[in-house]
Amino acid sequence: MMRLNRNLVRSRTCQTVLVFDTFKKLTPDLMHQFAYKNGSLHCENVDLAAIAATYGTPTFVYSRNTILADLDELQRAFAELDAHIAYAIKACSNGAILQLMAKRGVGFDIVSGGELWRIIRAGGDPSACTYAGVAKTEEEIRYALECGIYCFICESEDELRAINRIASDAGKQAPVAVRVNPNVDAHTHKYITTGTNENKFGVDISRIEQLYATIAAEMPRLRIRGLQMHIGSQLTEVQPFVTAVQKVTPLASQLKELYGIEFLSIGGGIGIVYDGCLASGNLDWWKEHPEQITIASYARALIPLLKPLGLRILLEPGRRLVGNAGVLLTRCIYEKRGESKLFKMIDAGMNDIIRPALYEGYHEIWPVREHNDDSVVVDVVGPICESGDFQAQNRSIPDVKPGELLAELSAGAYGSSMSSTYNSRPLAAEVMVDGDKITLIRRRQTLESMVADEILPTP
């Protein structure tokens, strides 16, 4: 399987690049621009080895044209609706990526005052921002009101009352929507499912009508603007979205009639291909995975349900817009044969990508130099002093040797944005590739900047 995939995606000549373009037309979904050319893994036209030589490792590398292609495809897929994308910036919040999205007319879905600040810094428009989250503080609410965001997405009556009071103090009206929990199982990992009644998120669908009536009657500073749902992340099938939207549309209709709501947000959660990522640029892969969600199948299933509402539709994708567009470039430092396992130690740890440790996240791991030798079964582990610090377990990969570069694929979403300096490891560098151009979009953190806010008490 491994070898087969590698051969399928081998892109050695310009001619093969053309083949990629043809795939892009035929399966416009889930393509990305990472492929082997001349025996070395490239991002667009740039050899990843060249990036490692200039910027060191670990380094996140993003393909600008992959992001733009996905954005464009999503916008076109929903063109027949009054649909707007609000990119969920927690997936990847680097300012260069926000700037790119803002220039394409994309709005943003935020979950903190800090994210709003980042958007404004990057030239984004606060009036195109929706603000979600279960525990917004008074300070954050005041800041968002001052900035004039499009809508607060509220998760409890307590929160609504707080916003009403803060808006009153500020002499303002606050646009609000409530997050409805449709109680649908998203068939995703339990840590990233959000739309069942066991989660902390949203308000149960049976209580929404009463809550909107209470807002209208008792909270004069709130302006009811919409309704929102978000049932989970990394959904690999369309069906849970369909079930949830079917449950929520009658309610949205009713709220439109009663309170004149202007939008329904259907949240984010569109899954990407992690296992088979590199091969997913190939038509055969798609034939073998007919259930895998695509932007096209998502749009095809939902548009007929949404169109009759006559509402503005907000989409809040995070992962789908950046996940396959980024890799983490890392180097193998040592190998070790344990009693029962072969370990490859790399210079990236759970502080750089926490997904495997946090929710069994999977990333394909490919050597930058193309191998034709047999694969070996290994654990790929990082330098952090935790047993949970692994990137792959019992995984068949080419037999990379110490000193060799590796790319951890599909690392664009919930990679750098979730990274930390645990074990006093500075944050990784980030670069963006556009054709054959490389732009540094975050310097590798220095040790000085890592401790800049710490205070050493004078003895």
Ligand X SMILES: *Cc1c(COP(=O)(O)O)cnc(C)c1O
Identify the helix (H) or strand (E) that includes residue 177.
strand 174-181
Report the nearest approach of ligand X to the CB of residue 326 (Å).
13
91 interacts with ligand X by CB under 6 A = yes
Q: Other CB atoms closer than 10 Å to residue 22's CB: what's the count?
A: 11
Which residue among 318, 361, 412, 415 contacts ligand X (CB under 6 A)? 318
- Pick the closer one to ligand X by CB: 175 or 317: 317
Query: Could you give the CA distance from residue 62 to residue 410 in angstroms, rounded to a whole number?
Result: 10
Binding residue for ligand X, selected from 195, 268, 326, 356, defined by CB under 6 A:
268
If one asks whether residue 30 binds ligand X (CB under 6 A), the answer comes out as: no
Cβ atoms of 307 and 379 within 8 Å: the answer is no
- Please, which residue, 230 or 395, has the CB nearer to ligand X? 230
Find out whether 173 and 167 touch, Cβ atoms under 8 Å.
Answer: yes
Q: Which of 269, 281, 349, 356 binds ligand X (CB under 6 A)?
A: 269
User: Could you give the string, one character per residue 96-115, with x where binding to ligand X holds by CB under 6 A and - elsewhere?
Assistant: -------------x-x----
Q: How far is the CB of 129 from ligand X (least distance, A)?
A: 12
321-358 in b/e burial notation, b at 16+ Cβ within 10 A?
bbbbbbbbbbbbeeeeeeeeeeebbbbbbbbbbbbbbe
Minimum Å distance from CB 240 to ligand X? Answer: 12
> Which of 14, 92, 129, 385 is the catalytic position?
385
Strands (E), 29-168: 34-37, 40-43, 46-47, 59-63, 83-88, 107-110, 129-131, 151-154
- Residue of the chain from 136, 225, 319, 395 that contacts ligand X (CB under 6 A): 319
CA angle at 443 for the pair 434 and 122, rounded to the nearest 5°: 65
The piece of 86-94, 120-128, 165-173, 451-459 that touches ligand X (CB under 6 A) is: 86-94
At a CB cut-off of 8 Å and minimum separation 6, what does 373 contact? 398, 399
If you search the block for the tokens 């995070």, which residue do you land on? 318
Give CA–CA dist 340/155, Å, rounded: 49
Q: How far is the CB of 332 from ligand X (least distance, A)?
A: 30
- Our measurement of the distance from residue 319's CA atom to the centroid of its chain's CA atoms, rounded to an integer in Å, reads 2
Residue nearer to ligand X on the CB measure, 141 or 270:
270
User: Minimum CB separation from ligand X for residue 106, in Å?
Assistant: 13
Regarding 355 and contact with ligand X (CB under 6 A), the answer is no
Does residue 195 belong to the site contacting ligand X (CB under 6 A)? no
How many residues sit in the footprint of ligand X (CB under 6 A)?
18
Catalytic site includes residue 14: no
**Which residue's CB is nearer to ligand X, number 70 or number 316?**
316
Q: Is 159 a residue that touches ligand X (CB under 6 A)?
A: no
Q: Is 90 in the site for ligand X (CB under 6 A)?
A: yes
Q: Where are the alpha helices (DSSP H) in 222-347?
A: 239-259, 283-288, 295-306, 319-322
320 is a site residue for ligand X (CB under 6 A): yes
Q: How far apart are CA 241 and CA 305, in angstroms?
A: 11
CA–CA dist 347, 405 (Å, integer): 10
Which amino acids are annotated catalytic? 385
Q: Which residues bind ligand X (CB under 6 A)?
A: 88, 90-91, 109, 111, 132, 230, 233-234, 267-270, 316-320
